[in-house]
Chains A and B, each alone.
Chain A
Amino acid sequence: MKRLIAGAAVLVAAGLGTARWAASRGRRPAVAKDPLESSRWLGITINRSPDEVAPGGHLPDPLARADAEVRMNRAPGDRGTEIYARPREHRAGIGGLLARPRGDDARTAVRTALRETKCLLETGDVLRSDEEIGTTRPTVTGRVLDMALGRAAEGGRL
Protein backbone atom coordinates (compact mmCIF):
# COMPACT_ATOMS: atom_id res chain seq x y z
CA MET A 1 0.00 0.00 0.00
CA LYS A 2 2.73 2.46 0.99
CA ARG A 3 4.68 1.42 -2.05
CA LEU A 4 1.67 2.06 -4.26
CA ILE A 5 1.07 5.47 -2.77
CA ALA A 6 4.71 6.36 -3.25
CA GLY A 7 4.32 5.14 -6.84
CA ALA A 8 1.43 7.51 -7.34
CA ALA A 9 3.42 10.41 -5.92
CA VAL A 10 6.28 9.71 -8.28
CA LEU A 11 3.81 9.54 -11.11
CA VAL A 12 2.25 12.87 -10.29
CA ALA A 13 5.66 14.44 -9.98
CA ALA A 14 6.77 12.77 -13.20
CA GLY A 15 3.60 13.84 -15.01
CA LEU A 16 3.88 17.45 -13.98
CA GLY A 17 7.65 17.34 -14.49
CA THR A 18 7.27 15.98 -17.99
CA ALA A 19 4.83 18.68 -18.86
CA ARG A 20 7.23 21.31 -17.60
CA TRP A 21 10.06 19.66 -19.51
CA ALA A 22 8.00 19.54 -22.68
CA ALA A 23 7.05 23.16 -22.30
CA SER A 24 10.55 24.36 -21.63
CA ARG A 25 12.51 22.29 -24.15
CA GLY A 26 14.39 24.19 -26.75
CA ARG A 27 14.61 27.28 -24.62
CA ARG A 28 17.86 28.55 -23.22
CA PRO A 29 18.33 27.54 -19.60
CA ALA A 30 17.90 30.68 -17.52
CA VAL A 31 16.90 31.72 -14.03
CA ALA A 32 13.55 32.96 -15.27
CA LYS A 33 12.39 30.84 -18.21
CA ASP A 34 10.64 33.73 -19.88
CA PRO A 35 12.77 36.87 -19.80
CA LEU A 36 9.62 38.98 -19.72
CA GLU A 37 7.82 36.78 -17.18
CA SER A 38 7.53 39.41 -14.49
CA SER A 39 6.39 42.25 -16.72
CA ARG A 40 4.08 40.57 -19.25
CA TRP A 41 0.45 41.56 -19.37
CA LEU A 42 -1.87 38.85 -18.08
CA GLY A 43 -4.71 38.59 -20.56
CA ILE A 44 -8.15 37.05 -20.30
CA THR A 45 -11.06 37.04 -22.71
CA ILE A 46 -14.56 37.59 -21.39
CA ASN A 47 -17.59 36.51 -23.37
CA ARG A 48 -19.30 39.88 -22.96
CA SER A 49 -19.10 43.10 -24.95
CA PRO A 50 -16.82 45.90 -23.70
CA ASP A 51 -19.94 47.88 -22.65
CA GLU A 52 -21.05 45.05 -20.43
CA VAL A 53 -17.59 44.46 -19.02
CA ALA A 54 -16.92 48.06 -18.03
CA PRO A 55 -20.13 50.10 -18.23
CA GLY A 56 -19.27 53.78 -18.35
CA GLY A 57 -15.60 52.86 -18.21
CA HIS A 58 -15.92 51.50 -14.66
CA LEU A 59 -13.87 48.38 -14.14
CA PRO A 60 -15.66 45.43 -12.55
CA ASP A 61 -14.74 43.93 -9.18
CA PRO A 62 -12.58 42.20 -8.07
CA LEU A 63 -10.33 43.56 -10.80
CA ALA A 64 -11.15 47.15 -9.81
CA ARG A 65 -9.75 46.49 -6.34
CA ALA A 66 -6.52 44.90 -7.60
CA ASP A 67 -3.38 47.01 -7.52
CA ALA A 68 -2.90 46.70 -11.26
CA GLU A 69 -2.54 48.55 -14.51
CA VAL A 70 -5.46 47.52 -16.71
CA ARG A 71 -6.30 47.92 -20.37
CA MET A 72 -9.04 46.37 -22.46
CA ASN A 73 -10.25 46.09 -26.03
CA ARG A 74 -12.88 44.33 -28.09
CA ALA A 75 -11.74 40.76 -28.89
CA PRO A 76 -11.54 39.60 -32.51
CA GLY A 77 -14.59 37.94 -34.00
CA ASP A 78 -17.39 37.11 -31.60
CA ARG A 79 -15.11 36.52 -28.67
CA GLY A 80 -16.15 39.43 -26.47
CA THR A 81 -13.62 41.56 -24.61
CA GLU A 82 -9.92 41.13 -23.96
CA ILE A 83 -8.81 42.47 -20.58
CA TYR A 84 -5.13 42.82 -19.76
CA ALA A 85 -3.69 43.54 -16.36
CA ARG A 86 -0.36 43.52 -14.56
CA PRO A 87 0.83 44.59 -11.14
CA ARG A 88 1.75 48.25 -10.97
CA GLU A 89 5.14 47.50 -9.51
CA HIS A 90 7.17 45.05 -11.61
CA ARG A 91 9.43 42.79 -9.67
CA ALA A 92 11.95 41.19 -11.96
CA GLY A 93 14.80 38.76 -11.26
CA ILE A 94 15.57 37.34 -7.86
CA GLY A 95 13.07 39.52 -5.99
CA GLY A 96 10.23 38.19 -8.10
CA LEU A 97 11.41 34.62 -7.66
CA LEU A 98 11.56 34.97 -3.89
CA ALA A 99 8.13 36.50 -3.77
CA ARG A 100 6.38 33.40 -5.15
CA PRO A 101 7.20 30.91 -2.39
CA ARG A 102 6.34 33.59 0.18
CA GLY A 103 2.91 33.63 -1.39
CA ASP A 104 2.82 37.38 -1.93
CA ASP A 105 3.28 37.27 -5.64
CA ALA A 106 1.48 40.30 -6.95
CA ARG A 107 1.07 38.63 -10.32
CA THR A 108 -0.79 35.77 -8.68
CA ALA A 109 -3.19 38.23 -7.11
CA VAL A 110 -3.83 39.91 -10.46
CA ARG A 111 -4.25 36.58 -12.22
CA THR A 112 -6.79 35.44 -9.64
CA ALA A 113 -8.63 38.76 -9.86
CA LEU A 114 -8.86 38.41 -13.66
CA ARG A 115 -10.14 34.86 -13.47
CA GLU A 116 -12.71 35.67 -10.80
CA THR A 117 -13.85 38.75 -12.69
CA LYS A 118 -14.42 36.64 -15.77
CA CYS A 119 -16.35 33.97 -13.86
CA LEU A 120 -18.49 36.64 -12.15
CA LEU A 121 -19.27 38.52 -15.36
CA GLU A 122 -20.05 35.39 -17.33
CA THR A 123 -21.88 33.32 -14.71
CA GLY A 124 -22.73 35.69 -11.86
CA ASP A 125 -20.66 33.72 -9.36
CA VAL A 126 -17.18 32.33 -8.67
CA LEU A 127 -17.38 28.56 -8.64
CA ARG A 128 -16.11 26.85 -5.50
CA SER A 129 -14.62 23.39 -5.26
CA ASP A 130 -15.98 20.55 -3.14
CA GLU A 131 -12.52 20.45 -1.57
CA GLU A 132 -13.91 22.90 0.99
CA ILE A 133 -15.80 20.03 2.63
CA GLY A 134 -13.00 17.52 2.42
CA THR A 135 -13.37 13.78 2.27
CA THR A 136 -9.66 13.11 1.96
CA ARG A 137 -7.26 12.01 4.65
CA PRO A 138 -3.64 13.14 5.03
CA THR A 139 -1.06 10.87 3.40
CA VAL A 140 2.51 11.28 2.25
CA THR A 141 1.38 11.42 -1.35
CA GLY A 142 -1.30 13.86 -0.38
CA ARG A 143 1.38 16.21 0.91
CA VAL A 144 3.44 15.85 -2.25
CA LEU A 145 0.30 16.58 -4.20
CA ASP A 146 -0.54 19.54 -1.99
CA MET A 147 2.79 21.04 -2.93
CA ALA A 148 2.21 20.37 -6.61
CA LEU A 149 -1.37 21.63 -6.42
CA GLY A 150 -0.59 24.45 -4.04
CA ARG A 151 -0.62 26.93 -6.84
CA ALA A 152 -3.21 25.16 -8.95
CA ALA A 153 -5.98 27.54 -8.09
CA GLU A 154 -3.83 30.48 -9.08
CA GLY A 155 -2.26 29.27 -12.30
CA GLY A 156 -3.94 28.52 -15.55
CA ARG A 157 -4.01 30.18 -18.90
CA LEU A 158 -5.82 33.41 -18.87
Chain B
Amino acid sequence: MKALCWQGVNELSVEQVPDPAILNSQDAIVKVTASTTCGSDLHLLGGYIPAMRAGDVIGHEFIGEIVDVGPEANRRRVGERVVVCSVIGCGRCWACSHDEWSLCENSNPNPGVTDLMWGGTTAGIFGYSHAMGGFRGSHAEYVRVPFVDYNAFPVPEGISDLDALFASDAAPTGWMGAELGGVKPGDVVAVWGCGGVGQMAARAAMLLGAERVIAIDRYPERLAMTARRVGCEVVDYTSTDVTAELRERTGGRGPDVCVEAVGMEADGTGIERVYDALKQRLRLEQDRPIAVREAIHACRKGGSVFVLGVFAGLVDKFPLGALMNKGLTLRGAQQHGQRYIPKILDRIAKGDLSTAYLATHTMTLDEGPKGYDLFKHKKDGCVRAVFRPWA
Protein backbone atom coordinates (compact mmCIF):
# COMPACT_ATOMS: atom_id res chain seq x y z
CA MET B 1 0.00 0.00 0.00
CA LYS B 2 0.92 3.66 -0.26
CA ALA B 3 2.14 5.62 2.78
CA LEU B 4 3.83 8.89 3.68
CA CYS B 5 7.17 8.12 5.31
CA TRP B 6 9.69 10.04 7.39
CA GLN B 7 13.08 9.70 5.69
CA GLY B 8 15.24 12.00 7.76
CA VAL B 9 15.13 15.46 9.27
CA ASN B 10 12.78 17.59 7.13
CA GLU B 11 12.51 14.85 4.53
CA LEU B 12 9.33 12.99 3.64
CA SER B 13 8.38 10.76 0.73
CA VAL B 14 5.47 8.67 -0.46
CA GLU B 15 6.42 4.99 -0.60
CA GLN B 16 5.00 1.56 -1.25
CA VAL B 17 5.12 -0.37 2.04
CA PRO B 18 3.76 -3.76 3.13
CA ASP B 19 0.10 -3.71 4.19
CA PRO B 20 -0.49 -3.69 7.93
CA ALA B 21 -1.80 -6.90 9.49
CA ILE B 22 -3.78 -7.96 12.52
CA LEU B 23 -1.07 -8.88 15.02
CA ASN B 24 -3.21 -9.13 18.17
CA SER B 25 -6.68 -10.57 18.49
CA GLN B 26 -8.15 -7.23 19.66
CA ASP B 27 -6.78 -5.30 16.63
CA ALA B 28 -8.63 -3.96 13.64
CA ILE B 29 -7.50 -2.72 10.26
CA VAL B 30 -8.91 0.65 9.28
CA LYS B 31 -9.07 1.94 5.73
CA VAL B 32 -8.06 5.56 6.20
CA THR B 33 -10.42 8.05 4.57
CA ALA B 34 -8.88 11.25 6.00
CA SER B 35 -5.70 11.91 7.97
CA THR B 36 -4.43 15.33 8.98
CA THR B 37 -1.13 17.02 9.68
CA CYS B 38 -0.70 18.07 13.32
CA GLY B 39 1.78 20.40 15.02
CA SER B 40 3.24 17.35 16.76
CA ASP B 41 4.44 16.03 13.38
CA LEU B 42 6.50 19.18 12.95
CA HIS B 43 8.54 18.21 16.00
CA LEU B 44 9.18 14.78 14.40
CA LEU B 45 10.02 16.39 11.10
CA GLY B 46 12.42 18.81 12.76
CA GLY B 47 14.21 15.90 14.44
CA TYR B 48 13.27 16.95 17.96
CA ILE B 49 11.56 13.68 18.88
CA PRO B 50 14.17 10.95 19.19
CA ALA B 51 13.74 7.44 17.86
CA MET B 52 12.48 7.98 14.33
CA ARG B 53 13.82 5.69 11.63
CA ALA B 54 14.00 6.20 7.87
CA GLY B 55 10.85 4.68 6.41
CA ASP B 56 8.59 5.20 9.42
CA VAL B 57 4.99 5.96 8.42
CA ILE B 58 3.81 9.16 10.11
CA GLY B 59 0.34 10.62 10.87
CA HIS B 60 -1.85 10.08 13.94
CA GLU B 61 -5.08 12.05 13.57
CA PHE B 62 -7.51 10.19 11.33
CA ILE B 63 -10.83 8.63 10.50
CA GLY B 64 -11.69 5.68 8.35
CA GLU B 65 -13.70 2.54 7.85
CA ILE B 66 -13.10 -0.73 9.67
CA VAL B 67 -12.27 -3.41 7.08
CA ASP B 68 -11.06 -6.24 9.31
CA VAL B 69 -11.27 -7.09 13.01
CA GLY B 70 -9.44 -9.61 15.17
CA PRO B 71 -11.41 -12.48 16.77
CA GLU B 72 -11.50 -10.79 20.17
CA ALA B 73 -12.66 -7.35 19.11
CA ASN B 74 -16.20 -7.44 20.43
CA ARG B 75 -17.64 -3.99 20.10
CA ARG B 76 -16.40 -2.76 16.73
CA ARG B 77 -17.60 -4.20 13.42
CA VAL B 78 -16.41 -4.30 9.84
CA GLY B 79 -18.00 -1.48 7.86
CA GLU B 80 -18.22 1.04 10.73
CA ARG B 81 -17.08 4.59 10.05
CA VAL B 82 -14.85 5.43 12.99
CA VAL B 83 -12.70 8.21 14.38
CA VAL B 84 -9.63 6.77 16.09
CA CYS B 85 -7.88 8.36 19.05
CA SER B 86 -4.28 9.33 18.24
CA VAL B 87 -3.11 7.95 21.60
CA ILE B 88 -3.55 4.20 22.12
CA GLY B 89 -5.10 2.93 25.34
CA CYS B 90 -5.70 -0.62 26.57
CA GLY B 91 -8.83 0.44 28.45
CA ARG B 92 -8.15 -1.77 31.46
CA CYS B 93 -4.97 -0.71 33.24
CA TRP B 94 -5.23 1.57 36.26
CA ALA B 95 -4.43 4.69 34.18
CA CYS B 96 -7.03 3.92 31.50
CA SER B 97 -9.64 3.03 34.08
CA HIS B 98 -9.00 6.42 35.69
CA ASP B 99 -9.44 8.15 32.32
CA GLU B 100 -5.77 9.03 31.98
CA TRP B 101 -5.41 7.24 28.69
CA SER B 102 -2.12 8.73 27.53
CA LEU B 103 -0.54 7.16 30.61
CA CYS B 104 -1.70 3.67 29.56
CA GLU B 105 0.54 0.98 30.97
CA ASN B 106 0.02 -1.65 28.29
CA SER B 107 -0.02 0.12 24.92
CA ASN B 108 3.68 0.84 24.42
CA PRO B 109 5.66 -2.25 23.40
CA ASN B 110 8.93 -0.26 23.72
CA PRO B 111 8.58 0.87 27.34
CA GLY B 112 12.27 1.46 27.95
CA VAL B 113 12.75 4.64 25.95
CA THR B 114 10.23 6.95 27.59
CA ASP B 115 11.11 5.45 30.95
CA LEU B 116 14.75 6.37 30.42
CA MET B 117 13.88 9.88 29.25
CA TRP B 118 11.10 10.70 31.71
CA GLY B 119 11.16 8.17 34.51
CA GLY B 120 7.92 6.53 33.41
CA THR B 121 6.51 4.71 30.41
CA THR B 122 3.80 6.49 28.44
CA ALA B 123 1.16 5.21 26.03
CA GLY B 124 1.69 4.18 22.44
CA ILE B 125 0.87 6.78 19.79
CA PHE B 126 0.27 6.17 16.09
CA GLY B 127 3.13 7.26 13.83
CA TYR B 128 5.05 8.87 16.64
CA SER B 129 8.44 7.18 16.75
CA HIS B 130 9.77 3.99 18.23
CA ALA B 131 9.79 5.61 21.66
CA MET B 132 5.97 5.67 21.53
CA GLY B 133 5.71 2.03 20.55
CA GLY B 134 6.78 1.93 16.90
CA PHE B 135 3.19 1.97 15.62
CA ARG B 136 2.68 2.87 12.00
CA GLY B 137 1.03 6.17 11.25
CA SER B 138 -2.22 7.01 9.50
CA HIS B 139 -0.92 8.86 6.45
CA ALA B 140 -1.46 5.61 4.59
CA GLU B 141 -4.17 3.66 2.85
CA TYR B 142 -4.59 1.33 5.83
CA VAL B 143 -3.55 1.34 9.47
CA ARG B 144 -3.65 -1.26 12.22
CA VAL B 145 -5.59 -0.13 15.30
CA PRO B 146 -4.69 -2.03 18.50
CA PHE B 147 -7.31 -2.55 21.24
CA VAL B 148 -9.87 -1.32 18.73
CA ASP B 149 -12.83 -1.58 21.10
CA TYR B 150 -11.34 1.18 23.22
CA ASN B 151 -9.70 3.38 20.60
CA ALA B 152 -12.14 3.61 17.69
CA PHE B 153 -15.43 5.50 18.02
CA PRO B 154 -18.30 5.16 15.55
CA VAL B 155 -19.15 8.47 13.91
CA PRO B 156 -22.87 9.21 13.99
CA GLU B 157 -24.52 9.87 10.66
CA GLY B 158 -24.87 13.55 10.03
CA ILE B 159 -21.35 14.35 11.15
CA SER B 160 -19.09 14.95 8.15
CA ASP B 161 -15.74 13.21 7.71
CA LEU B 162 -13.86 16.45 8.17
CA ASP B 163 -15.70 17.36 11.37
CA ALA B 164 -15.15 13.90 12.84
CA LEU B 165 -11.50 13.90 11.80
CA PHE B 166 -10.45 16.50 14.35
CA ALA B 167 -12.23 14.59 17.12
CA SER B 168 -9.24 12.25 16.90
CA ASP B 169 -6.66 14.64 18.36
CA ALA B 170 -6.96 18.44 18.03
CA ALA B 171 -10.42 18.77 19.60
CA PRO B 172 -9.93 16.41 22.56
CA THR B 173 -6.48 17.90 23.18
CA GLY B 174 -7.95 21.38 23.37
CA TRP B 175 -10.81 20.14 25.52
CA MET B 176 -8.40 18.49 27.93
CA GLY B 177 -6.35 21.71 28.27
CA ALA B 178 -9.43 23.69 29.22
CA GLU B 179 -10.99 21.03 31.46
CA LEU B 180 -7.90 19.83 33.31
CA GLY B 181 -6.63 23.43 33.36
CA GLY B 182 -9.67 23.92 35.58
CA VAL B 183 -11.74 26.38 33.53
CA LYS B 184 -14.87 27.35 35.44
CA PRO B 185 -17.82 29.57 34.56
CA GLY B 186 -16.78 33.19 34.80
CA ASP B 187 -13.06 32.57 34.24
CA VAL B 188 -10.77 34.56 31.99
CA VAL B 189 -8.72 32.16 29.88
CA ALA B 190 -5.69 32.89 27.70
CA VAL B 191 -4.52 30.47 25.03
CA TRP B 192 -1.07 30.63 23.44
CA GLY B 193 -1.09 29.43 19.82
CA CYS B 194 -3.90 29.63 17.24
CA GLY B 195 -3.17 26.38 15.43
CA GLY B 196 -5.79 23.62 15.42
CA VAL B 197 -5.04 22.74 19.03
CA GLY B 198 -5.13 26.32 20.38
CA GLN B 199 -8.37 27.09 18.56
CA MET B 200 -9.99 23.96 19.97
CA ALA B 201 -8.77 24.83 23.47
CA ALA B 202 -10.23 28.33 23.15
CA ARG B 203 -13.58 26.95 21.98
CA ALA B 204 -13.64 24.36 24.76
CA ALA B 205 -12.95 27.09 27.34
CA MET B 206 -15.97 29.02 26.05
CA LEU B 207 -18.17 25.91 26.15
CA LEU B 208 -17.03 25.25 29.72
CA GLY B 209 -18.33 28.69 30.69
CA ALA B 210 -15.30 31.00 30.52
CA GLU B 211 -16.49 34.57 30.45
CA ARG B 212 -13.62 35.81 28.33
CA VAL B 213 -11.15 33.93 26.17
CA ILE B 214 -8.07 35.57 24.66
CA ALA B 215 -5.98 33.72 22.05
CA ILE B 216 -2.42 34.67 21.10
CA ASP B 217 -0.48 34.11 17.86
CA ARG B 218 1.35 36.04 15.17
CA TYR B 219 -0.22 34.94 11.88
CA PRO B 220 -2.93 37.41 10.84
CA GLU B 221 -4.97 34.75 9.05
CA ARG B 222 -4.92 32.45 12.09
CA LEU B 223 -5.85 35.31 14.41
CA ALA B 224 -8.68 36.31 12.08
CA MET B 225 -9.89 32.71 11.79
CA THR B 226 -9.86 32.33 15.59
CA ALA B 227 -11.77 35.57 16.13
CA ARG B 228 -14.37 34.59 13.56
CA ARG B 229 -14.76 30.83 14.07
CA VAL B 230 -14.10 30.50 17.79
CA GLY B 231 -15.55 33.88 18.64
CA CYS B 232 -12.92 34.98 21.16
CA GLU B 233 -10.55 37.94 21.56
CA VAL B 234 -7.12 37.74 19.92
CA VAL B 235 -3.68 39.25 20.49
CA ASP B 236 -0.78 39.46 18.01
CA TYR B 237 2.34 38.84 20.07
CA THR B 238 4.62 40.52 17.56
CA SER B 239 2.91 43.86 17.92
CA THR B 240 2.59 44.11 21.69
CA ASP B 241 3.83 43.00 25.10
CA VAL B 242 1.59 40.01 25.76
CA THR B 243 1.86 40.08 29.56
CA ALA B 244 1.07 43.81 29.71
CA GLU B 245 -1.77 43.41 27.26
CA LEU B 246 -3.33 40.56 29.25
CA ARG B 247 -2.98 42.50 32.46
CA GLU B 248 -4.66 45.51 30.95
CA ARG B 249 -7.52 43.38 29.69
CA THR B 250 -8.09 41.66 33.06
CA GLY B 251 -8.26 44.43 35.65
CA GLY B 252 -4.60 43.91 36.50
CA ARG B 253 -5.10 40.28 37.60
CA GLY B 254 -4.00 38.20 34.64
CA PRO B 255 -5.89 35.20 33.24
CA ASP B 256 -7.26 32.59 35.65
CA VAL B 257 -6.26 29.74 33.34
CA CYS B 258 -3.46 29.82 30.78
CA VAL B 259 -3.34 27.12 28.11
CA GLU B 260 -0.12 26.71 26.18
CA ALA B 261 -0.71 25.20 22.71
CA VAL B 262 2.59 26.04 21.05
CA GLY B 263 5.20 23.46 22.05
CA MET B 264 8.94 23.00 21.92
CA GLU B 265 9.54 25.03 18.77
CA ALA B 266 7.94 28.20 20.08
CA ASP B 267 8.77 31.41 18.36
CA GLY B 268 9.31 34.66 20.26
CA THR B 269 10.37 38.22 19.97
CA GLY B 270 13.62 39.94 20.90
CA ILE B 271 16.54 38.46 22.74
CA GLU B 272 14.64 35.49 24.20
CA ARG B 273 13.97 34.15 20.71
CA VAL B 274 17.64 34.34 19.73
CA TYR B 275 18.77 32.82 23.02
CA ASP B 276 16.54 29.75 22.84
CA ALA B 277 16.96 29.20 19.11
CA LEU B 278 20.72 29.26 19.47
CA LYS B 279 20.81 26.99 22.50
CA GLN B 280 18.45 24.53 20.82
CA ARG B 281 20.57 24.50 17.66
CA LEU B 282 23.73 23.88 19.67
CA ARG B 283 21.88 21.09 21.50
CA LEU B 284 22.48 22.88 24.81
CA GLU B 285 18.75 23.04 25.33
CA GLN B 286 16.35 20.48 23.91
CA ASP B 287 13.12 22.48 23.84
CA ARG B 288 12.23 26.18 23.50
CA PRO B 289 9.73 27.00 26.25
CA ILE B 290 9.04 30.61 25.29
CA ALA B 291 5.25 30.45 25.52
CA VAL B 292 5.35 28.43 28.74
CA ARG B 293 7.50 31.08 30.41
CA GLU B 294 5.18 33.82 29.23
CA ALA B 295 2.10 31.94 30.42
CA ILE B 296 3.60 31.50 33.88
CA HIS B 297 4.42 35.20 34.07
CA ALA B 298 1.06 36.35 32.80
CA CYS B 299 -1.07 33.98 34.89
CA ARG B 300 -2.95 35.46 37.85
CA LYS B 301 -1.77 34.60 41.37
CA GLY B 302 -3.19 31.23 42.29
CA GLY B 303 -4.11 30.47 38.69
CA SER B 304 -3.33 27.47 36.56
CA VAL B 305 -1.20 26.78 33.50
CA PHE B 306 -1.79 23.78 31.28
CA VAL B 307 0.92 22.71 28.81
CA LEU B 308 -0.63 21.11 25.72
CA GLY B 309 2.35 21.87 23.48
CA VAL B 310 4.68 18.91 23.15
CA PHE B 311 8.05 19.00 24.92
CA ALA B 312 10.61 16.20 24.87
CA GLY B 313 13.41 17.01 27.24
CA LEU B 314 15.06 19.73 29.24
CA VAL B 315 14.39 23.46 29.09
CA ASP B 316 16.31 26.47 30.23
CA LYS B 317 15.39 29.51 32.30
CA PHE B 318 12.27 27.96 33.69
CA PRO B 319 10.55 30.51 35.98
CA LEU B 320 10.20 28.26 38.99
CA GLY B 321 10.27 31.30 41.29
CA ALA B 322 7.16 32.76 39.68
CA LEU B 323 5.43 29.40 39.80
CA MET B 324 6.19 28.87 43.46
CA ASN B 325 5.65 32.38 44.79
CA LYS B 326 2.47 33.05 42.82
CA GLY B 327 1.01 29.76 43.98
CA LEU B 328 0.38 28.45 40.47
CA THR B 329 -0.69 24.99 39.38
CA LEU B 330 1.21 23.65 36.39
CA ARG B 331 -0.01 20.63 34.52
CA GLY B 332 0.43 18.98 31.14
CA ALA B 333 -0.34 15.77 29.27
CA GLN B 334 -0.55 14.03 26.00
CA GLN B 335 -4.22 13.95 25.29
CA HIS B 336 -6.58 11.56 27.10
CA GLY B 337 -8.72 11.44 23.96
CA GLN B 338 -10.92 8.47 24.85
CA ARG B 339 -12.26 10.51 27.75
CA TYR B 340 -13.48 13.32 25.49
CA ILE B 341 -14.21 11.92 22.02
CA PRO B 342 -17.82 10.80 22.66
CA LYS B 343 -18.58 14.17 24.27
CA ILE B 344 -16.96 16.00 21.37
CA LEU B 345 -18.89 14.05 18.73
CA ASP B 346 -22.01 14.93 20.67
CA ARG B 347 -21.13 18.64 20.71
CA ILE B 348 -20.38 18.52 16.99
CA ALA B 349 -23.73 16.85 16.30
CA LYS B 350 -25.52 19.51 18.36
CA GLY B 351 -23.73 22.30 16.50
CA ASP B 352 -21.87 23.66 19.56
CA LEU B 353 -18.51 22.80 18.09
CA SER B 354 -17.34 23.01 14.52
CA THR B 355 -13.98 21.68 13.48
CA ALA B 356 -14.02 21.02 9.72
CA TYR B 357 -13.01 24.61 9.00
CA LEU B 358 -9.50 23.81 10.29
CA ALA B 359 -8.93 21.79 7.12
CA THR B 360 -7.72 24.67 4.98
CA HIS B 361 -6.08 22.31 2.48
CA THR B 362 -7.42 18.93 1.37
CA MET B 363 -5.20 16.83 -0.89
CA THR B 364 -4.22 13.34 -1.94
CA LEU B 365 -1.66 11.23 -0.11
CA ASP B 366 0.76 11.71 -3.01
CA GLU B 367 0.77 15.40 -2.17
CA GLY B 368 1.90 14.64 1.40
CA PRO B 369 5.34 16.28 1.19
CA LYS B 370 3.76 19.41 -0.28
CA GLY B 371 1.09 19.42 2.44
CA TYR B 372 3.77 19.39 5.14
CA ASP B 373 5.68 22.15 3.40
CA LEU B 374 2.55 24.34 3.44
CA PHE B 375 1.74 23.41 7.05
CA LYS B 376 5.24 23.76 8.45
CA HIS B 377 5.85 27.17 6.92
CA LYS B 378 2.23 28.29 7.38
CA LYS B 379 2.12 29.10 3.67
CA ASP B 380 -1.06 29.98 1.85
CA GLY B 381 -2.95 30.35 5.14
CA CYS B 382 -2.51 26.65 5.91
CA VAL B 383 -3.88 25.66 9.33
CA ARG B 384 -4.20 21.94 8.65
CA ALA B 385 -3.44 19.95 5.47
CA VAL B 386 -5.68 16.89 5.26
CA PHE B 387 -4.83 13.86 3.13
CA ARG B 388 -7.54 11.69 1.57
CA PRO B 389 -5.78 8.49 0.47
CA TRP B 390 -8.73 7.19 -1.54
CA ALA B 391 -9.92 10.45 -3.10
Contacts and interface: CB of A to CB of B under 8 A. Distances in A.
Q: Which of B17, B47, B105, B286 has the most CB of A within 10 A?
A: B105
A131 B146 contact: no
A19 B313 contact: yes
A90 interface: no
B147 to A, nearest CB: 7
B47 A127 contact: no
Contacts of B107: 127
B97 interface: yes
Nearest to B19: A133
Q: How large is the interface on B (under 10, 10 to 19, 20 to 34, 35 or more residues)?
A: 35 or more
A26 to B, nearest CB: 15
Interface stretch (A3-11, A31-39, A62-70, A93-101): A3-11
Contact of A135 (B48, B56, B93): B56
B143 to A, nearest CB: 9
Q: How large is the interface on A (under 10, 10 to 19, 20 to 34, 35 or more residues)?
A: 35 or more
A152 B110 contact: yes
Contacts of A20: 116
Contacts of B320: none
B54 A139 contact: yes
Contact of A151 (B112, B114, B136): B112
B286 A15 contact: yes
A47 interface: yes
A54 interface: no
Interface in B34-76: 47-48, 50-57, 72
Interface stretch (B20-28, B300-308, B323-331): B20-28
Contacts of B114: 156
Given A18-B314, A152-B110, A127 B51 contact: no
A128 B314 CA distance: 30
Nearest to B106: A119
8 contacts: A8-B47, A16-B116, A45-B94, A79-B94, A127-B146, A130-B20, A152-B113, A155-B112
